[in-house]
Structure 1
Amino acid sequence: MDWDKLRIFHAVADAGSLTHAGDKLNLSQSAVSRQIRALEESLSATLFHRHARGLILTEQGELLFDATAAMSKRLETASARIRDSDEEVFGELRVTTTFGFGTLWLAPRLTKLYEQYPDLKIDLMLEERVLDLPMREADVAIRMKEPSQADLIRKRLMTVKMQLYVSRAYLDKHGTPEELSDMSQHRLICQNPRSPQVGTAANLVQNLMTHNPLSLLTVNNYFGVLQGVLHDLGIGVLPDYVTEDFPDLVQIFQHKYSTEVPVYLAYPEELRHSRRISAFRDFVQNEIIAHRKHLKELGKI
């Protein structure tokens, strides 16, 4: 099967248009059309339904597109490995993690990584959905549970606990609750129960709700919960990794927290020798060591 025709087919299927694919490939629409017709003839199959709004893949086209997509991912991986230098770290690195960890812990620390590797290009993808690393939806992931996908190198980085935090200004105005039953006099700020989150965090919130908080503010991510706490709105359920960067937060009910949540770094086996992956992995590990050392100095662990 002609690799060039497959490359053109993939571009057309991805763009849904001969014109747009031609623009991307620097080919005329007629040249693209000829290649698609030739491919269809060689396969004795129709790959696209043609209509006024563009092109739609047939069932046979969908099968071929799945194959070319997998080929494209593999080629990207090979290209990335070839580009990696023994001496330099450069190029794009796609990192995925949760919205909370990405905004509250990782992003504020990336300045140090860029200072060390100024030619690195980070594409930070923050979402609760677990991206498919072997299919190259991302290069490396930091997740709040051990990844279950096969063919991954994984390393446990640390553990996280969900705890209760409040601002000093809020305590000055509303007093410090001594018992969980005192929650009936305070506003609780937490993730919306319908939002994706680790089970231990949801269990902690369910337990707190049995004490009938005076008021409730729910947000669909921990960044929003933190903002509510910092602006003196109430008592928030937050991951303990925020304490270093926001030292004015006060932890209350220190005996009440979620079970420990493991944090893992993972990347595809085929990227084992990538200099960019190694640089990012070492950076994260060093930052976690520094983070824990600082918390010990503050007496928080």
Structure 2
Amino acid sequence: MDWDKLRIFHAVADAGSLTHAGDKLNLSQSAVSRQIRALEESLGTTLFHRHARGLILTEQGELLFDATTAMAKRLEAAEARIKDSEEEVFGHLRVTTTLAFGTLWLAPRLSALYDKYPDLKIDLKLEERVLDLPMREADVAIRMKEPSQADLIRKRLMTVRLRAYASRDYLERAGTPEALSDLSHHRLISQSPDSSQVSAGARMIQQLLQHEPQSTLTVNNYFGVLQGVLNDLGIGVLPDYLTEEFPDLVRVLPEFESAEVPVFLAYPEELRHSRRIAAFRDFVQDEVIAHRKHLKQLGKL
């Protein structure tokens, strides 16, 4: 197949319009249309259903679009490796992690990375869905479990535990629980049972619910749980990495916590020699070391 025609087909399929694809490729609509017709003739099939509102891929078109999408992502990876300077760190770096970790731990620390590499452009993708690194949905990931995808380089950064916390004002008003049975006099704030979360956290919440809290507030992410705790709404189940950033959090029921949750950094094997990846990896590892050192000084490890 003609590479140029495949490039034009991919642009049309992505845009859903000959006109929009032509604008992106700096080609006229008629030139784009001719290339698509020629590709369809060479394959002996129809790739698009045409109607007044735009173009829809046929089943054969979907198959070809899947292939060109994979090709495009591989080319992006190759381009990233080629552009990586041997001495400088610059360009785009797409980082994916969970909403809570990215918002509450990673983002506040990025100034140190930008101070060292001011030309770096970071795109943070904060979501619970595990993005496909080999398919170039992101360049590097920080996840709360060991990645299962093949062809990934992975580095264990630290471990996290889920613990129970409350604000000082809440405890002054409602009292400090001394045992799990005391939860019957308190409001429990936690992630929603049907939200994406680590299994250790889900098990901990189920155990706490067995003690029949007076009332509950469930949120679909830890950022929302944290806001509830900081605003004196009750006792929240939160990851322990927050204790450094929010020193007013008071740990309650200290004998009760989740199992360890490993935190991994991972990136595709093909980006092994990327200067941007190396810079980010080293930055995160340095921040983890500093974080643990500070927690030891505070007596929280």
TM-score past 0.5 threshold: yes
- Tell me how far apart the structure 2 counterparts of residues 217 and 198 of structure 1 sit (CA, whole Å): 19
Q: 1:131: which partner in 2?
A: 131
Q: 2:58: which partner in 1?
A: 58
Q: 2:170: which partner in 1?
A: 170
Report deviation, 1:57: 1.1
Q: Which amino acid aligns with 1:132?
A: D
Q: 1:20: which partner in 2?
A: 20
Report deviation, 1:121: 0.8
Q: 1:45: which partner in 2?
A: 45
- Give unpaired runs (5+ residues) of structure 1: none
Secondary structure of the equivalent of 1:101? Answer: helix
Instruction: Give a deviation string over 1:119-147, Cα, whole Å, max 9, x none.
Output: 11111011111110000001000001100
Report deviation, 1:59: 1.7
Q: Out of 207-216 and 264-273, give the one that drifted further.
A: 207-216
Q: 2:225: which partner in 1?
A: 225
Q: 1:288: which partner in 2?
A: 288
Q: 2:151: which partner in 1?
A: 151
Structure 1 length-normalised TM: 0.99
Instruction: Give a deviation string over 1:150-184, Cα, whole Å, max 9, x none.
Output: 00000111000000001111111111111111111
Report deviation, 1:245: 0.4
- Tell me how far apart the structure 2 counterparts of residues 287 and 37 of structure 1 sit (CA, whole Å): 55
Q: Which amino acid aligns with 1:143?
A: R
- Tell me how far apart the structure 1 counterparts of residues 112 and 144 of structure 2 sit (CA, whole Å): 23
- Tell me how far apart the structure 1 counterparts of residues 185 and 63 of structure 2 sit (CA, whole Å): 60
Report deviation, 1:2: 1.4
Report deviation, 1:39: 1.1
Report deviation, 1:72: 0.4
Q: 1:215: which partner in 2?
A: 215
Q: Out of 9-18 and 59-68, give the one that drifted further.
A: 59-68
Structure 2 length-normalised TM: 0.99
Q: 1:236: which partner in 2?
A: 236
- Tell me how far apart the structure 1 counterparts of residues 150 and 52 of structure 2 sit (CA, whole Å): 43
Percent identical among aligned pairs is 80
Instruction: Give a deviation string over 1:64-112, Cα, whole Å, max 9, x none.
Output: 1111111101110010001100111111111111111111111111111
Secondary structure of the equivalent of 1:282? Answer: helix
Q: Which amino acid aligns with 1:218?
A: T
Q: Which amino acid aligns with 2:126?
A: L
Q: 1:264: which partner in 2?
A: 264
Q: Note if 1:273 corresponds to 2:273.
A: yes
Secondary structure of the equivalent of 1:41? Answer: helix
Secondary structure of the equivalent of 1:189? Answer: strand
Report deviation, 1:270: 0.1
Report deviation, 1:117: 0.9
Moved over 3 A (4+): none
Q: 2:3: which partner in 1?
A: 3
Paired residue total? 301
Q: 2:197: which partner in 1?
A: 197
- Tell me how far apart the structure 2 counterparts of residues 10 and 161 of structure 1 sit (CA, whole Å): 45
- Tell me how far apart the structure 2 counterparts of residues 70 and 210 of structure 1 sit (CA, whole Å): 47
- Tell me how far apart the structure 1 counterparts of residues 70 and 170 of structure 2 sit (CA, whole Å): 54
Q: Which amino acid aligns with 1:58?
A: T
- Tell me how far apart the structure 2 counterparts of residues 65 and 170 of structure 1 sit (CA, whole Å): 55
Q: Note if 1:298 corresponds to 2:276.
A: no
- Tell me how far apart the structure 2 counterparts of residues 119 and 254 of structure 1 sit (CA, whole Å): 44
Report deviation, 1:149: 0.3
- Tell me how far apart the structure 2 counterparts of residues 205 and 36 of structure 1 sit (CA, whole Å): 55
Instruction: Give a deviation string over 1:184-220, Cα, whole Å, max 9, x none.
Output: 1111110011101011101111111111111111111
- Tell me how far apart the structure 1 counterparts of residues 62 and 184 of structure 2 sit (CA, whole Å): 57
- Tell me how far apart the structure 2 counterparts of residues 58 and 35 of structure 1 sit (CA, whole Å): 17
